[in-house]
Chain A
Amino acid sequence: NAGVTQTPKFRVLKTGQSMTLLCAQDMNHEYMYWYRQDPGMGLRLIHYSVGEGTTAKGEVPDGYNVSRLKKQNFLLGLESAAPSQTSVYFCASIKGDSQMNTEAFFGQGTRLTVV
């Protein structure tokens, strides 16, 4: 049982390049989330999904797109990377089928640098 796995762990992009971050969970969780973490800002929600085939915008969605074609995977895309997108990105998932199952499980993060 791997939990939540993010790939890649590190990446350096040039301004204008595109990339996709993959989040995979093997816990059959319904809800998945992408956050970015910047110094002094805590974690801010980019996009989220409440089930396979659904996505919704979070607090800071501009410049990002997401897809959830399979329940276990949640992809985060950067179409044209900008230096302002240099950050650490965390994926999380929640089972969400009862009050007892509202804990978020986090991946280990992806450190992205845009130069």
Chain B
Amino acid sequence: AQSVTQPDIHITVSEGASLELRCNYSYGATPYLFWYVQSPGQGLQLLLKYFSGDTLVQGIKGFEAEFKRSQSSFNLRKPSVHWSDAAEYFCAVSGAGSYQLTFGKGTKLSVIP
């Protein structure tokens, strides 16, 4: 069975500081990996995705993520956080076939001005 672990429930960073959100996955075949962001009361917006090729993927809003197969990880990074990045972030995994997404429990990001 596929699963996703986001070890950090809540992270607080200062505006302008760098950010790394951790994600570990379990999947029996080649995974498709995603990061989504959810602002309060809103739906989910895709930040970036990985399905093959270059293991460093660039997304929207200045985010990037690196796929490390040996560590079963897909960590999200941003060099300089803005106050508007405060939200909840979800890592998800799927694969070929039904493409059903399995989500982690999310990491809530707070940004201190």
Contacts and interface: CB of A to CB of B under 8 A. Distances in A.
Given A90-B43, A90-B44, A99-B52, A42 B103 contact: yes
Contacts of B43: 90, 106-109
Chain B interface bracket (under 10, 10 to 19, 20 to 34, 35 or more): 20 to 34
A82 interface: no
Interface centre among A41, A42, A100, A106 (most CB of B within 10 A): A42
B87 interface: no
A94 B105 contact: no
Contact of B103 (A43, A56, A107): A43
Contacts of A40: 9, 105-106
A82 B62 CA distance: 42
A58 interface: yes
B11 to A, nearest CB: 15
Interface string A6-44: 000000000000000000000000010101000011111
Interface string B71-97: 000000000000000000010001010
Contacts of A74: none
Nearest to B44: A106
Contacts of A103: 34, 46, 49
A67 to B, nearest CB: 18
A99 B104 CA distance: 22
Contacts of A108: 42-43
B100 interface: yes
Nearest to B94: A102
Contacts of A33: 100-101
B95 to A, nearest CB: 9
Interface string A96-112: 10011011101111000
Given A102-B32, A103-B34, A56 B98 contact: yes
27 contacts: A31-B98, A31-B99, A33-B100, A41-B105, A42-B104, A42-B105, A43-B90, A43-B101, A43-B103, A45-B100, A45-B101, A48-B98, A50-B98, A56-B98, A94-B99, A96-B99, A99-B32, A100-B51, A102-B32, A102-B49, A102-B51, A104-B34, A104-B46, A104-B101, A106-B44, A107-B43, A108-B42
